[in-house]
Amino acid sequence: MKSLFGMSDYERSEFAVKATGQGLVSVIVPVYQSERYVDSCLASISQQTYRNLEIIVIDDGSWDRSAAICDKWAEQDNRIRVTHQTNSGLSGARNVGLDQATGSFITFVDSDDLISPIFVERLVAEMQDSDIDIAVMDLTPFTDVSSPRYTMGGGVERADARDYWVGVVNRGRGFEACGRMYRSSLFDSLRFIPGLIYEDLEIMPRLHLAARQVVFVDAQLYGYRQHADSIMSSSRCSPSTDLLRVLKENIEGVGDWPVSSVTKRRLVGGYLVHAAKSIEPKRLDIRATVDPVYAVAYKALMRRSLLAILRSPDLGFVYKALMVSSGVSVTLFEGSMRWAARAKACGIPGIRRRGRRA
């Protein structure tokens, strides 16, 4: 019989036994202007079946009711401690939490998200092997008018951390710092870069380079809130140039990875596709415009990466041509992508962006 946690009582007891005695887990929760959501977020953390937690809440200069809500929770649950500070951004708040963390394992929960009651238990159960440095699962999206649909499969996949990250980059998803559990020693010499947007995309390669093994858990127990302004399509495509800075640094860092030359080409190609996707039209019926400053930086990156685009083993010949064209004109690329989307729908080959999984 399935329990309210989405698995049989036997299955849950198996994971509970594996999780027993696994040590203190530090849950780091940055909070900024989250009065609508932080109460339910902290409730979902406080109600975890795995009880050996320290819940580190960093109020990052909120001027709404968030601070008061957090303080109230600290009075109700002695595992919660709250730090109030002037605003330093998500990276800065997470770094303060890392400085305070004393657990054997670390996980991050954003203050507008929710986690299943067995989220921590399920991940910490997979950390019993000392070679496992990261346990990860997919996120499940929800909105202000819906609830997370938590799911629990039965399988796990274990992989070398570097190979796993190559697969993430080539699939184009799974860059988030949330929805994971980390062995705390990974952060002995690593921190988020303060003030940087796309901080997860920047730190994740460094974490996977430092890690040994990753285990992927077939479950969705972390609810990621999608806000209306991120769901609704816009006619303006204006990502921050921080994205290009991070991708450029990630590409330059590929040389340090102890992997084959083919794998390095796959990794670089995946990062460049991520850049190209930032200017792709979100909807065919709306013509997007790209910020001129971003367009200049984007074209410079693509022109510098011409050889890497052509050598990527995971890109179809048409998409390679489109990426090369984007280094000349983002408007040409945007129009070409409209054509490509229609052609792909008609079955024209060669537009494939990504190849095999790592």
Helices within the chain (DSSP H only): 9-19, 38-46, 66-76, 89-100, 119-125, 161-171, 199-210, 228-231, 241-253, 261-277, 292-304, 306-311, 317-326, 330-345
Both 165 and 312 in one domain: the answer is: no
Domain boundary among 207, 229, 251: 229
- Count the domains in the chain: 2
Q: What is the mean pLDDT of residues 148-157?
A: 91
Residue 67: what pLDDT? 98
Which of 80-84, 144-148, 182-186, 314-318 bottoms out in mean pLDDT, i.e. has the lowest?
314-318
Better-scored residue on pLDDT, 329 or 165: 165
318 in any annotated domain? yes
Both 217 and 270 in one domain: the answer is: no
CB 38 within 8 A of CB 65: no
Both 200 and 288 in one domain: the answer is: no
Q: In DSSP terms, which residues pair with 242 in a beta bridge?
A: none
Q: Tell me the pLDDT tens digit for each residue of 2-35.
A: 444 555 554 555 655 555 556 999 999 999 999 9
Residue 183: what pLDDT? 98
Both 340 and 272 in one domain: the answer is: yes
Residue 172: what pLDDT? 87
Residue 215: what pLDDT? 98
CB atoms near residue 116 (< 10 Å): 26
Provide the mean pLDDT of the chain: 87
Q: One-letter amino acid identity for 186?
A: L
- HSE-up (13 A, CA, CB side) for residue 103: 27
Q: How far apart are CA 57 and CA 328, in angstroms?
A: 46
Q: Tell me the pLDDT tens digit for each residue of 332-349.
A: 777 666 666 666 666 655
Residue 333: what pLDDT? 77
Both 56 and 102 in one domain: the answer is: yes
Both 113 and 254 in one domain: the answer is: no
263 in any annotated domain? yes
71 by Cβ neighbours in 10 Å (0-12 / 13-18 / 19+) ranks as middle
Q: What is the mean pLDDT of residues 77-105?
A: 98
3 in any annotated domain? no
Q: How far apart are CA 318 and CA 63, in angstroms?
A: 50
Residue 331: what pLDDT? 78
Residue 288: what pLDDT? 61
Place of tokens 């390679």: 320
| Distance from the first to the final alpha carbon of the chain | 36
Both 96 and 212 in one domain: the answer is: yes
Both 109 and 127 in one domain: the answer is: yes
Q: What is the mean pLDDT of residues 157-177?
A: 94
**H or E segment at 82?**
strand 80-85
Tokens, residue 56: 């580190």
User: What are the C-alpha distances in Å from 306 to residues 27, 110, 245, 261?
Assistant: 43, 38, 17, 17
pLDDT above 90: percentage of residues in the chain: 70
pTM: 0.88
β-strands 105-108, 180-183 pairing: antiparallel
Q: Which CATH number covers residue 219?
A: 3.90.550.10
297 in any annotated domain? yes
Residue 166: what pLDDT? 95
Question: Which residue segment(s) compose the domain that 41 sits in?
Answer: 9-229
Residue 292: pLDDT band (50, 70, 90) is confident
- Does residue 176 surpass a pLDDT of 90? yes
Place of tokens 């367009």: 295
